[in-house]
Amino acid sequence: MDREIYLTGITTTGTPHIGNYVGAIRPGIAASQDLQKHNYYFLADYHALAKAGDPDRIARSTLEIAASWLALGLDVENAVFYRQSDIPEIPQLMWILSSMTAKGLMNRAHSYKAAVQANVEGGSKDPDRGITMALYGYPILMAADILMFKATKVPVGRDQKQHVEMARDVAQRFNHHYGDVLVLPDPIIGDDTAVLAGLDGRKMSKSYNNTIPLFAPEKQLRKLIMKIKTNSLEPGEPKDTEDSVLFDIYRAFATPEETAVIAARYDEGIAWGEMKQVLFEYINEHIKPARDEYERLISDPGEVERQLLQGAERAREVSVPYLGKIRDAIGIRPLG
């Protein structure tokens, strides 16, 4: 059987935080080192346009995300690592796929519906107020990302599952019309235990502004960890590991044995201040070597750029001929 093809996109709208690390980056890097798998990882910078209009933010985020994955040991020999905007075949394929995408299908996209609902609830006369075609067509660009590389498996968070199903629907419709050209992808949904809470106890997310940046300098890391919400139990009072953000973060980094030791200290009534210190030291130690490499890459963006361009070159070995085949199928062909 052919190797499965895995493909993951990361939207370049923020600074990687420890929630991203535990939920997506760490498993992604482990997968990149698995020679049984064929992996594509890319920076979805065109997708970022649907969410944010700040050019410097997008450029900075692209550098930070690329540097993070590289610093943490992404295997760029085995995996293909590139930037979406370096692959001109992707937006071309998006347009082609638009011709096979029912408008009604896009009306049902959760992200679009949420934006409409926010307008309605906000009392706006126009339900589509402020909604761009980039937001509306977001799933079609994502379908192009996926179908361009014949991905069979797409690891995503629960919130993106519908988008992968839409890619599948669009591919099916295309194939029905033009013959068996596109490969149907399956979503792979990560388990929810990999979701970390943030400083305030809600899901760690850049939209809640409650994140701990993965490569925060030591001083900032300590400061943020000291801010994590706890309850008012005094030192010496036994504490519950359930619903403890400190414990959850510790567990996400530590081995099961180390976690068991900390669970016992909760029973014994470890003070919150001390637990915060333990957590800070653990994460700081764990992250230090990669943080040094990250800082080196951030100060040498040309090196990151070179790596991305190399990745794009490899990606285009697939996308250029395949787009040719797709264009042929739809009747956009050389005339003689």
Question: Does the protein bind ligand TRP through residue 8 (CB under 6 A)?
Answer: yes
Q: Choose one: 6-14, 199-207, 256-264, 289-297; the region binding ligand TRP (CB under 6 A).
A: 6-14
Give the footprint of ligand TRP on residues 139-158 (CB under 6 A). 142, 145-146, 154, 156
Question: Does the protein bind ligand TRP through residue 18 (CB under 6 A)?
Answer: no
Identify which of residues 38 and 239 has a Cβ nearer to ligand TRP in the complex: 38
Write down the least CB distance from residue 265 to ligand TRP, Å.
36
Write down the least CB distance from residue 61 to ligand TRP, Å.
12
Question: Does the protein bind ligand TRP through residue 160 (CB under 6 A)?
Answer: yes
Give the footprint of ligand TRP on residues 51-70 (CB under 6 A). none
- 3-state SS, residue 236: coil
Please report which residue ranges of the chain form alpha helices under DSSP H.
18-20, 26-32, 45-48, 55-71, 89-98, 103-107, 110-121, 133-136, 138-148, 161-178, 218-226, 245-253, 256-268, 272-298, 301-330
What angle separates helix 89-98 from helix 301-330, to the nearest 10 degrees? 40
End-to-end CA distance of the chain: 37
Question: Does the protein bind ligand TRP through residue 39 (CB under 6 A)?
Answer: no
Write down the least CB distance from residue 50 to ligand TRP, Å.
9
Query: From residue 284 to residue 303, what is the string marking binding to ligand TRP with x (rule CB under 6 A)?
Result: --------------------
> How far apart are the C-alpha atoms of 309 and 322, rounded to whole Å?
19
> How far apart are the C-alpha atoms of 153 and 187, rounded to whole Å?
6
Write the single-letter amino acid at 330. I
- 3-state SS, residue 83: strand
Query: From residue 113 to residue 142, what is the string marking binding to ligand TRP with x (rule CB under 6 A)?
Result: -----------------------------x
> How far apart are the C-alpha atoms of 326 and 329, rounded to whole Å?
5
Write down the least CB distance from residue 77 to ligand TRP, Å.
22
Contact 279, 246 (CB under 8 A): yes
Among 5, 6, 11, 287, binds ligand TRP (CB under 6 A): 11
**How many residues sit close enough to ligand TRP to count as binding (CB under 6 A)?**
12
Write the single-letter amino acid at 26. R
Residues forming contacts to ligand TRP in the complex (CB under 6 A) are 7-9, 11, 44, 47, 142, 145-146, 154, 156, 160
